[in-house]
Structure 1
Amino acid sequence: MEKVMRNRAVKCFVYVMCVLAGVVHAQPGTALLHRAEQNLTRVIVHDIFSPPVASRIYLYANAAAYETLVLGHEGYKSLHGQANEFPRIEAPHAPGMAASNGVNYELAALYAFFRTGGRLVFSEPMLKDSAESILASVGEPDEAVFQNSLRLGEMVSDSILSWSARDNYAATRKKRRYAYSKEKGKWTPTPPGYIDAVEPYWSHIRPVSLDSAAQFKPLPPPAFDTAPASIFMKEVKEVYDKTRSLSQEEILIASFWDCNPFYLNTQGHLNFATKKLSPGGHWVSIAGQATESAGKSWIESSAVYLLTSIALFDGFISCWDEKYRSQFIRPETVINAYMDEKWRPLLQTPPFPEYTSGHSVISTAAAEVLEAQLGKGFAFDDNTETPYGLPVRHFASFSAAAEEAGISRLYGGIHYRSAIVNGQTQGRGVGLQVIQKIRLKESIGK
Structure 2
Amino acid sequence: MFSKILIANRGEVALRIIRACHEMGIEAVVVYSTADKDSNYVRFADKAICIGPASPAQSYLNINAIISAAEIADVDAIHPGYGFLAENAHFAEVCRECNIAFIGPSPEAMTKLGDKAKARDMAVDAKVPVVPGSPGPLSDEESGRKLAREIGFPVMIKASAGGGGRGMRLVHNDISFRNAYQSAKAEAMGAFGNDEVYLEKFIENPRHVEVQVMSDKYGNVLHFYERDCSIQRRHQKLIEEAPCPVLDEETREKLCEAAKRLMKNAKYENAATVEFLLDKDRNFYFIEANTRIQVEHPVSELVTGHDLIKMQIRVAAGEELKLKQKDIKLNGCAIECRINAENPDMNFSPSPGPVDEFFVPGGFGVRVETFIKQGSYISPNYDSMIAKLLVHNNTRQEAIATMKRALNEFKIGPIKSTIPASLKILNDSDYVNNNVDTGYVERKIYPPKS
Higher helix proportion: 1
Higher strand proportion: 2
Q: TM-score range by the shorter chain?
A: under 0.3
Superposition TM-score, scaled by structure 1 size: 0.24
Task: Identify which of structures 1 and 2 has the higher relative contact order when contacts are C-alpha pairs closer than 8 Å and 6+ apart.
Answer: 1
Superposition TM-score, scaled by structure 2 size: 0.24
